[in-house]
Amino acid sequence: MKICIPIIEDRGLESPVSAHFGSAPLFALCDTATGDIRTIDNRNAQHEHGMCQPLAAIGGQGVEAVVVGGIGRGAMMKLQAGGVRVFLGAPTTVAEALAAHEAGTLSEATPDMACAGHGHGGPHGPHACGA
């Protein structure tokens, strides 16, 4: 499975996970079948709230799932409409995110779990919305 994880800086498996999908400067693209990890720039990091275009940011990469600490409702819905599963958790590194996904301890996102706005927290605690 190809998993996208928003990150702050590229340090391989020890890359720190960004608290919010849309504003992450980078994405770690992880292939769980091969163990390969590569990083791409988030070409859509600078956008107004509600204007995130996640499929434009990761399009053409074969991503099947994202693991995030927080994500806006619009971005979540766009990813899901594009066939990308969205999982929420509070991993601090790419290694933790992959381990949590493998262990099945992440929650698959539903619209009520989305962030209300950048850095505003939400009903599921500070990690759920990147506050």
pLDDT in tens, 60-79: 889 999 999 888 888 888 89
Inter-CA distances, 30 with 34, 65, 88, Å:
9, 10, 16
Measured CA to CA, the distance from residue 59 to residue 65 in angstroms comes to 12
Stretch 28-46: mean pLDDT, rounded? 87
Q: Is 82 a member of any domain?
A: yes
Stretch 24-48: mean pLDDT, rounded? 85
Residue that wins the pLDDT comparison between 58 and 129: 58
Q: Is 128 a member of any domain?
A: no
CATH at 19: 3.30.420.130
Instruction: Using the predicted structure, report yes or no on whether residue 37 has a pLDDT greater than 50.
Output: yes
User: For the sheet containing 2-7, what is the strand order?
Assistant: 37-41, 26-31, 2-7, 65-68, 85-88, 107-108
Instruction: Decide if 45 contacts 96 (C-beta within 8 A).
Output: no
Question: In which domain, by residue range, is 103 found?
Answer: 2-113
Q: Is 7 a member of any domain?
A: yes
Q: Residue 54 has what pLDDT? A: 64
Closest of 43, 100, 110 to residue 76, by C-alpha = 110
pLDDT digits (tens, 9 = 90+) for 79-129: 998 899 999 998 899 999 999 999 999 999 887 776 755 443 333 333 344
Q: Is 122 a member of any domain?
A: no
Q: Residue 52 has what pLDDT? A: 53
Q: Is 84 helix (H, G, I), strand (E, B) or coil?
A: coil
Q: Is 123 a member of any domain?
A: no
Instruction: Using the predicted structure, report yes or no on whether residue 50 has a pLDDT greater than 70.
Output: no
Distance between first and last Cα of the chain: 29
Instruction: Using the predicted structure, report yes or no on whether residue 9 has a pLDDT greater than 60.
Output: yes
Q: Is 127 a member of any domain?
A: no
Q: Is 15 a member of any domain?
A: yes
Q: Residue 18 has what pLDDT? A: 92
Q: Is 105 a member of any domain?
A: yes
pTM of the model: 0.81
Measured CA to CA, the distance from residue 66 to residue 57 in angstroms comes to 12
For 58, the enclosing helix (H) or strand (E) is helix 54-58
- Report the domain count for the chain: 1
